[in-house]
Amino acid sequence: MTSQDRTDRLLLPTRVLLALFAGLTTVAVGALFVRAAETDESFAWTIDPAATAAFLGAGYASGTVLVLLSWHGGSWARTRIPLVTILVFTALTLTATLAHLDRFHLAVDLLLPRFAAWFWLAVYVVVPVGMTVVLVLQQRRAVPPGPRRPLPAWLVTLLVVEGLVLLVVGSALYLAPATAELLWPWPLTPLTARVVGSWLVAYGVAAALLVRAGDLDLLRVPAVAYAVLGVLQLVVAGRFADVVRWGSASALVFLVMATAIAATGSAAFVAAEARPAPLREALQP
């Protein structure tokens, strides 16, 4: 492929897929975060307690921000890691769905939850395939990376520590859902433990990829989504305080991690938006 064929712009299939995913995640936010207590009547499976539905809805809200900002920015270099993050989440969620199909409203009498269940299954079969295709198409035409703006040491440390916690806890919940009794501050079923774990692993992978890339310019979009995730998880803990096991170590870890994620995302965005010193000097009269 010649240099003229390479581009950093998002290809049309990528834009279409991102727009589709943004629409789907927006619907999920409404069904899970807003109507957390009504999943038995309006969602693909019944989620109890409602705190879990709200947690998942917060994840989808963060995903919506991630996708919309990536779509608006139009740069493949800044979209690649968000796309890989979404691919990891959707692939893990598909596996969890297939392992627990008996929990879904695939044969209930109510039309809305039955439609939601079949729609969920279709989406999580199609989206990972579509994500893989556009990832290959875009990467084949990607331009070589330009000069990097190295991450400050404090940010690398925060991302490494938080990423490891997300990966370890998420992997444990996904592979051994029974560990939720120890690792999570409210009850989870095997299915919800695996879907929660999917979100945690996906964001842990994102943190690892951002550290590996080592470029502040790639952090703008993920930083905003990361901050949204942390803030909304704190909202979930307050909104459903009655089901949180406040005396447990898992509740303390949850609050510390949610606060750290919100703060790290905000600080990373500020750092990414700051002009490099040479540019500041060049702009001075």
In this prediction, residue 274 carries a pLDDT of: 85
The answer to whether residues 120 and 44 touch, using CB atoms and an 8 Å cutoff, is yes
Low-confidence ranges of the chain (pLDDT < 70): 1-4, 275-285
In this prediction, residue 2 carries a pLDDT of: 53
Q: In whole angstroms, what separates CA 33 from the centre of its chain?
A: 15
In this prediction, residue 145 carries a pLDDT of: 77
What length does the chain have?
Answer: 285
Q: What is the value of pTM for the model shown?
A: 0.91
Query: Which three-class secondary structure state does DSSP give residue 45?
Result: strand
Q: In whole angstroms, what separates CA 99 from the centre of its chain?
A: 21
Instruction: Work out the number of other CB atoms within 10 angstroms of the CB of residue 87.
Output: 20
The tokens for 37 are: 């207590």
Give the residue carrying structure tokens 């893990």. 92
- The 8-class DSSP code of residue 34 comes to I
Give helix 190-213 / helix 50-73 axis angle, nearest 10°.
30
The answer to whether residues 27 and 61 touch, using CB atoms and an 8 Å cutoff, is no
Q: What is the CA radius of gyration of the chain?
A: 19
In this prediction, residue 143 carries a pLDDT of: 86
In this prediction, residue 101 carries a pLDDT of: 95
